[in-house]
Chains A and B, each alone.
Chain A
Amino acid sequence: MLLALDWLLILEKLVLIVIVVMASLLIAMYTTFAERKVAAVLQDRRGPNRAGPFGILQPVADGLKLFFKEEIIPNFSSKFLFIMGPSLAMLTAIMTGAVVPWGDKVHLFGRDIALQIADVNVGILYVFAVVSMGVYGIMIGGWASNNKYSLMGGLRAASQIISYELPMGISLIALLMVTGTLSLKEMVIQQQGGMWNIVYQPLGFLIFLICAFAECNRTPFDLPEAENELIGGYHTEYSSMKLGFYLFSEYINMFVSSVIMSTMFFGGYDVLPFVDESQWGLSDNIMALIGIAALMIKVFCFIFLFMWVRWTIPRFRYDQLMRLGWRVLIPLALANMLVTGAIVLLKQNNWHF
């Protein structure tokens, strides 16, 4: 039978996808505004305050400006790949949101709607796969620009992201040993019952956080676009909204990696550790709203941390970056993995050798 599907389920998922994409775009938009305000506070300035009350319309003005700029495609570049670069960067940035559990469930129109687009049982590996695809947008864009500075930026991005994917993966293995599941939803459910995973894996979290900074190309790891060495890095030749896509995908990446970190290490939509929220006697819908709000508060704290670091710490030199990745983070992550494995084995053995 052709197309014998649960149409309501598809409609439900479609609405959820639209909401998640729109919300990520909106949050990324206001993250750019927040970044300028935070930078202003840290540098003892006022920041943007002209467009609308408190400068609240500034992101709209920035977006409009980018749309109205002239679109330039260099003569000797591959036009298709030149346009594909920023599109891929944007696509991979948004795709990660599909496996994140944004909340528990809401009860609407007589249906229980899970606030997660897809609960795949390899959730965290899916996130990892999408992150590793993210480098193509930068590499292809840098190569297609037919400019040596762009190419240098693209190559730097590629080597940096490959180098920092390794400790990130190894620190995740330690976390997976503790939780015993790859599904992000189940991780949250486990954390709701007991302590948050940060308690079991503090070193793993630290390594993951550093690697997340590197994967997002944020300062101190923003060598692919180091403007005093490479002009603009991989987006030197880009203008108009294609440049906007590159800049914007960085903010979406920041948002998504904050969500992933909150979900894996800080309980996701769990409101308070050690507290059984189901005994508060609130209805499912209100609990879901409180859960989403809790997740968002954690996410905004992480985003603030990203900005705080950016405006405090200067950029690494390239050899320092590689030394940190290969000589410090990977051995540390390996040691963390071995110790975690030993403790998990001991615990299964009831603390007998």
Chain B
Amino acid sequence: MSITEIIFWGLSVLALFCAIMVVASKSPVHSILYLIGVFFAISGHYILMNAQFLAIVNIIVYAGAIMVLFLFVVMLMNLNADAEPKKNRYLQFAGLISGGCLFLVLVAAVTRSADAGRVMQLGTGESGLIKNLGRILFNEYVIPFEISSVLFLSAMIGAVVIGKKN
């Protein structure tokens, strides 16, 4: 095992553990903190794949901005573990079965796909570096990039309109 493999396994275990705890923990505030942990672990994976820009932007946007807003809302609503309504036992059982089915389908789809045998190439590939990423985005993929920015703009305007109503 090389040092990158050790880091890879450590990050994977961390990401999976935090992801499970997001669902399992009773308090919403703890769930959010575990979700931030997941984002950090995934950013670590991005860095292993030499995609430094993606890693940092993942932290700035998701962990730094969106999760702060989540935490904000949860704190204002003052959701506590005991305030959560007790769910029907049959409903929980049905949820478990349907979630398991989805998991099965996903695993089957991934293992049968053409890329199943491919292993992540660690520390190679230059397209994640900011210079190359900018070139690719603004040359090859400029139309999808512009369309997605228009989408964001319309979402922003929509948020302002909804906010103005009240």
Q: How many residues of A contact B (CB 8 A)?
A: 28
> Is B65's beta carbon under 8 Å from chain A?
yes
Q: Please, which residues of chain B bring their CB within 8 A of the CB of A132?
A: 59-60, 63-65, 68
Q: How many residues of B contact A (CB 8 A)?
A: 24
Q: Does chain B have a CB within 8 A of A289?
A: no
Per the 8 Å Cβ criterion, residues 115-165 of A in contact with B are 120-122, 125-126, 128-129, 132-133, 135-136, 139-140, 143, 151, 154-155, 158-159, 162, 165
29 residue pairs A–B, Cβ–Cβ below 8 Å: A2-B2, A2-B3, A121-B52, A121-B130, A122-B53, A122-B56, A125-B56, A125-B60, A128-B56, A128-B60, A129-B59, A129-B63, A132-B64, A132-B65, A133-B59, A133-B63, A133-B64, A136-B36, A139-B72, A140-B33, A143-B29, A143-B71, A151-B75, A154-B75, A155-B75, A155-B76, A162-B65, A162-B68, A165-B64
Residue in contact with A1 in the complex, picked from B2, B64, B65, B129, CB distance below 8 Å: B2
A182 CB within 8 Å of chain B? yes
Question: Complex: how many Å from CA A46 to CA B47?
Answer: 52
Q: Please tell me if the beta carbons of B52 and A122 are within 8 angstroms of each other in the complex.
A: yes
Which residue in chain A gives the minimum CB-CB distance to B27? A78
Chain A residue with Cβ nearest B5: A2
| B1 interface hit (Cβ, 8 Å) | yes
Nearest Cβ in chain A — how far from B72, in angstroms?
6
Asked if A3 and B53 make an inter-chain contact with CB atoms under 8 angstroms apart, the answer reads no
Could you tell me which residues of chain B, from 57 to 86, have a CB within 8 Å of some CB in chain A?
A: 57, 59-60, 63-65, 68-69, 71-72, 75-76
Residues of A within 8 A of B76 (CB): 155
Verify if A321 is at the interface (C-beta below 8 Å from B): no
For residue A120, which residues in chain B have a CB less than 8 angstroms away from its CB?
52
Known: A2-B1, A2-B2, A158-B72. A129 touches B52 (CB 8 A): no
Chain B CB within 8 A of A81 CB: yes
Q: In B1-43, which residues have CB < 8 Å from any A CB?
A: 1-3, 27, 29, 33, 36
Specify the main secondary structure of chain B where it touches its partner.
helix
A3→B130 CA distance, assembly (Å): 30
A18 proximal to B (CB < 8 A) = no
- Which of B1, B36, B68, B69 lies at the interface centre, i.e. has the most chain A CB atoms within 10 A of its CB? B68
For B33, list chain A residues within 8 Å (CB): 81, 140
A125 to B68, CA, bound (A): 18
Which of chain B's residues has its CB closest to A159's CB?
B72
B129 touches A121 (CB 8 A): yes
Q: How far is the CB of A223 from chain B (nearest CB, A)?
A: 16
Tell me if B75 and A129 are in contact (CB < 8 A): no
List of 9 A-B pairs having minimum Cβ-Cβ separation, nearest first: A132-B64, A129-B59, A125-B56, A129-B60, A122-B56, A122-B52, A143-B75, A129-B56, A158-B72
Identify the closest chain B residue to A1 (Cβ). Answer: B2
Query: What is the CA–CA distance of A81 and B34 in the complex, to the nearest angstrom?
Result: 12
List B contacts of A11 (CB < 8 A). Answer: none
6 additional contacts, CB 8 Å, given A78-B29, A122-B56? A122-B52, A126-B56, A128-B60, A135-B68, A136-B68, A155-B72
Residues of B close to A126: CB separation below 8 A: 56
CB distance from A214 to the nearest CB of B (A): 15
Collect the chain B residues with CB atoms within 8 Å of residue A199's CB: none
| Chain A residue at minimal CB-CB distance from B57 | A125
Q: How far is the CA of A3 from the CA of B33 in the complex (A)?
A: 32
Q: How far is the CB of B68 from chain A (nearest CB, A)?
A: 6
CA A133 – CA B65 in complex, angstroms? 9
The residue of chain B having its C-beta at the shortest distance from the C-beta of A161 within the complex is B68
Cα–Cα distance between A154 and B72 once the two chains are bound (Å): 9
Q: Tell me if A5 counts as interface (CB < 8 A to partner B).
A: yes
Most chain A CB within a 10 A radius of its CB, from B52, B60, B72: B60
Nearest chain A CB to B161 CB, angstrom units: 17
